[in-house]
Structure 1
Amino acid sequence: MNIPDTIRNNLRDKYGIHVSSAKTVSGGSINQAYQLETNQGALFLKINVSAPEDFFEKEAEGLKLLKSAGSGLRIPEVIAAEKPINGSPGFLLMEFIDSGSSGDSFAFGANLAHLHQTNSDQFGLDAENYIGSLPQSNNWHSNWPGFFSEERIRPQLRMAIKSGKMDSRVLKQWDRIEPLLYDLMPETEPSLIHGDLWGGNYLFDTNGDAVLIDPAVYYGHPEMDLAFSHMFGGFSGEFYRGYESVSPQPSGFSERKPLYNLYPLLVHVNLFGGHYVSQAEAVLKRFA
């Protein structure tokens, strides 16, 4: 399948990249993706005609931040990120990474723990970004419960109420839960996290090294990544053993996990509705 001529010409004129062929590959649920053969080797191109105009710029910034941490995790090299212009869709161009059939899950877990040792003095990020196609607010907070409530849960609840997917009573339930967060969630330094760590957002390369893709980064609680990794599966016991070899978890994580995962659950409520609504309501009822 061919890519739009506007993008092909942009790559040639602005970046000196001449595309000889383009093959459709998997690129997630909201993007068109291609493996390009070019005069600079194989490259990976993502296109989206309906996403916000800065969508790929924010993804590129997230990838660069993860790469700068030097955690041992492989992060794709960003070559170009462009907004839509003159009817041409926005796009993200990166190095193409061949996936292998398996990899070193223990090293993956240990390196994720090293990533989480990249710290900030506050929770948040210096700009908003996206989780899936939804905006993700990252205003700075001095404590994690305040950030989690104001920047993660309340915006999603308000969005779900506005769209009619949830009843307004869920905000009253959250009002009862919020004061409990200070006792339920262990204190931590703000840690650089991937932010959208489910099984579809990593792969192993042909050397068996873990590669992180599609981030929704911010400085948050490291248990957010770990909780999300349990939500849909796809992470082995060796992964968790590797993580704990570097950063042993405080006790009680299994009890806290549904609360952390309320955030991705609400994101799925707002994106897809359906059975995610009853799952989110069950979590709110459990803690309220």
Structure 2
Amino acid sequence: MIRDTLKSQIQEDTGQAIVSTRRASGGSINQAALVELENRGTCFLKWNTTADPDLFVKEVKGLHLLRSVGTDLIVPEVIKQGTYGNGIGYLLLEYIKEGSAGAASSEDFGRQLAEQHKIKEEQYGLDHDNYIGKLPQSNSRHNDWTEFFIQERMEPQVKMGLDSGRFSAGITSAFQKMYRQLPDIFPDEPPSLLHGDLWGGNYFFNTDGKATIYDPAVYYGNREIEIAFTHMFGGFSSGFYSAYNEVWPLAPGFNNRKDIYNLYPLLVHTNLFGGHYGRQVKSIVQRF
């Protein structure tokens, strides 16, 4: 399962012997395993033979940023990031055992995410680009959210879809019509620290019932795009949303805007997986 070259590199980089390994789920992008180190215990390992190793370099930056802001959200500690073989990237993280939600876990998650969103910057974006899934994510800074959303979120993904043939050229005019409406649709929100890829597959509750978040695609953006993303693929619990709004209520009309925000993850999924995601994109854009 884990190549000997990767095992040897981990032992060299950490200075510890590997006692055992066992398979783990790595999602749809990476391969993963649990690795027991001699003096550290069980760690979570992921690697990717097809992605740029910079993927994990930027993930480390995102994890460090989320850990630094002082909420009660659990973010795995980075143990080691490196490469092996012919430049294949790997990332070794603290292993956090999955548990189950307690009576107040979802509500606490909502409150803590609202507290994270109160961490602000002057501009939308970030001081470096990173990735969402294994696709590049541009974070060039802008003073205006609509401009950022169009130039850094919509246009790179639309271009990727056009270049790959997943979209026909006609979709460009539909997006342009939608863009012209956005300044009157988006509320005035400050740039908030976002996880950036917060859906049901990128969090769980640990054995203490605390929300644990991982696989970030961080940047500073309008917090509504993050809450919209949580509604995809089934959504979070009602208690999560109620508690979030107790701490920092969303502006009226959010439900009318969330499909526009979710064009971004839908475009990403179109470019990664194709299929019905592209049809969802077209349906939303044509409504506006």
TM-score of the superposition, structure 2-length normalised?
0.96
SS in 1 for 2:81: strand
Amino acid in structure 1 at the alignment position of 2:227: L
Instruction: Tell me how large the CA RMSD over aligned residues is.
Output: 1.2
Alignment correspondent of 1:214: 215
Alignment correspondent of 2:64: 64
Correspondences of 1:263-274 after superposition (within 5 Å): 263-274=264-275
Alignment correspondent of 1:278: 279
CA contact (8 A) 1:198 1:233 kept: no
CA contact (8 A) 1:77 1:94 kept: yes
CA contact (8 A) 2:99 2:209 kept: yes
Q: Distance in 1 between matches of 2:85 and 2:242?
A: 50
CA contact (8 A) 2:154 2:264 kept: yes
SS in 2 for 1:168: coil
Please say if 1:239 is aligned against 2:240: yes
Please say if 1:16 is aligned against 2:19: no
Alignment correspondent of 1:251: 252
CA contact (8 A) 1:78 1:95 kept: yes
Runs of 4 or more above 3 Å deviation: none
CA contact (8 A) 1:116 1:191 kept: yes
Unaligned runs of 5+ in 1: none
Alignment correspondent of 2:47: 47
Correspondences of 1:224-235 after superposition (within 5 Å): 224-235=225-236
SS in 2 for 1:146: helix
- The C-alpha deviation readout for 1:169-210, integer Å capped at 9, x for no partner, is 222112122121111011111001011111000011000000
CA contact (8 A) 2:109 2:211 kept: yes
Alignment correspondent of 1:127: 128
By how many angstroms is 1:235 displaced? 0.9
By how many angstroms is 1:245 displaced? 1.5
By how many angstroms is 1:269 displaced? 1.0
- The C-alpha deviation readout for 1:22-54, integer Å capped at 9, x for no partner, is 011111111111111112111000011001120
Q: Distance in 2 between matches of 1:126 and 1:133?
A: 19
Unaligned runs of 5+ in 2: none
Alignment correspondent of 2:91: 92
Amino acid in structure 1 at the alignment position of 2:275: G
Alignment correspondent of 2:37: 38
Amino acid in structure 1 at the alignment position of 2:34: Q
CA contact (8 A) 1:34 1:45 kept: yes
CA contact (8 A) 2:52 2:89 kept: no
More deviation, 203-212/10-19:
10-19
SS in 2 for 1:72: coil
Q: Distance in 2 between matches of 1:177 and 1:243?
A: 29
CA contact (8 A) 1:6 1:88 kept: no
- The C-alpha deviation readout for 1:80-108, integer Å capped at 9, x for no partner, is 1113x442631000100000022400000
Amino acid in structure 1 at the alignment position of 2:118: Q
Q: Distance in 1 between matches of 2:251 and 2:91?
A: 38
SS in 1 for 2:234: coil
Alignment correspondent of 2:197: 196
Amino acid in structure 1 at the alignment position of 2:119: T
SS in 1 for 2:231: helix
Q: Distance in 2 between matches of 1:37 and 1:272?
A: 33
CA contact (8 A) 2:6 2:85 kept: no
CA contact (8 A) 2:202 2:214 kept: yes
CA contact (8 A) 2:53 2:87 kept: no
CA contact (8 A) 2:5 2:85 kept: no
By how many angstroms is 1:74 displaced? 0.5
TM-score of the superposition, structure 1-length normalised?
0.96
Correspondences of 1:70-219 after superposition (within 5 Å): 70-83=70-83, 85-87=84-86, 89-103=88-102, 104-219=105-220
Q: Distance in 1 between matches of 2:13 and 2:166?
A: 44
